[in-house]
């Protein structure tokens, strides 16, 4: 199959890290994403939690056609359709909504629904999710949850998100059922406020190095 989703899941799993960014100032989208790319992370989940976020997705797709620009906090079919119309390569939600999932999968766009119980994880994978966002990871049991469900739910590959940072990243990345780790820690709001894009590049590179080492490639 070819289409917007071709290779996206494999690339996300290979990178092992998904920066989650809420662009409260849409003008910062290009320089911040450039900084992530410079740090080795040509992937971003743009949350729909700020005005203009759907347009930001489109702008980044146009400016970085080879990168993996996706949308997060997608809660409705309307928003899923809008971000895919703007070229989103993947769609993330904090929950599992069968209608949102079907809308994305019909267009061949990988969808990463949120789940934090075994029943939700099962529903997500049964509905066609190649990756499941374990959210919110830290409050819902962290890596112990992921270890506990690995046996009974072997089909699930996770993107734990929510409370991850450079300090606990290695513990997640080392788990066989973790495809990638998501979070906002690589783009701190203080770095955005002060336009310290070099900090973003450093945090992205640090995250990649931690994942590589946790996976035995460091
Ligand atoms: C998300 O939108 O996926 C989460 O809010 C990110 O969680 P974090 O800010 O704890 O990384």
Q: Which of 182, 190, 204 is the best mutation target for the ligand 1 pocket, counting ligand atoms within 8 Å of the beta carbon and taking the most? A: 182
Q: Percent of the chain scored above 90 by pLDDT? A: 96
Domain-embedded: residue 1: no
> What Cα–Cα distance (Å) separates residue 91 from each residue in 54, 66, 87, 122?
12, 17, 10, 19
Residue 4 Cβ < 6 Å to ligand 1: no
Kindly report the pTM of this predicted structure. Answer: 0.95
In terms of residue numbers, what domain contains 157? 6-214
Closest residue CA from atom 5 of ligand 1: 162
Domain-embedded: residue 19: yes
Residue 22 Cβ < 6 Å to ligand 1: no
pLDDT in tens, 138-152: 999 999 999 999 999
160: Cα separation from own chain's centroid: 9
Residue 183 Cβ < 6 Å to ligand 1: yes
Domain-embedded: residue 101: yes
Residue 114 Cβ < 6 Å to ligand 1: no
Is 123 catalytic? The answer is: no
Q: What is the CATH number of the domain that holds 131?
A: 3.20.20.70
pLDDT in tens, 59-99: 999 999 999 999 999 999 999 999 999 999 999 999 999 99
Number of domains forming the structure of the chain: 1
């Amino acid at each position: 199959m070819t289409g917007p989703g071709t290779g996206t899941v494999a690339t996300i799993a290979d990178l092992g890290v998904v920066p989650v960014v809420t662009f409260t100032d849409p003008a910062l989208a290009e320089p911040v994403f450039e900084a992530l790319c410079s740090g080795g992370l040509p992937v971003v989940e743009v949350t729909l939690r700020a005005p203009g976020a759907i347009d930001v997705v489109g702008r980044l797709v146009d400016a970085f056609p080879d990168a993996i620009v996706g949308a997060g906090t997608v809660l409705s079919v309307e928003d899923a359709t809008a971000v895919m119309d703007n070229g989103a390569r993947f769609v993330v939600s904090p929950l599992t909504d069968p209608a949102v999932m079907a809308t994305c999968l019909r267009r061949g766009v990988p969808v990463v629904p949120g789940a934090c119980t075994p029943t939700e994880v099962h529903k997500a994978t049964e509905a066609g999710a190649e990756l499941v966002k374990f959210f919110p990871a830290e409050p819902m049991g962290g890596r112990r949850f992921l270890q506990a469900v690995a046996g009974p739910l072997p089909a699930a590959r996770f993107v734990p998100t929510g409370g991850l940072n450079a300090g606990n990243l290695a513990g997640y990345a080392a788990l066989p059922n973790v495809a990638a780790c998501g979070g906002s820690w690589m783009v701190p709001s203080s770095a955005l406020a002060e336009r310290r894009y070099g900090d973003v590049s450093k945090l992205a590179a640090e995250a990649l190095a931690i994942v590589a080492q946790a996976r035995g490639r460091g």
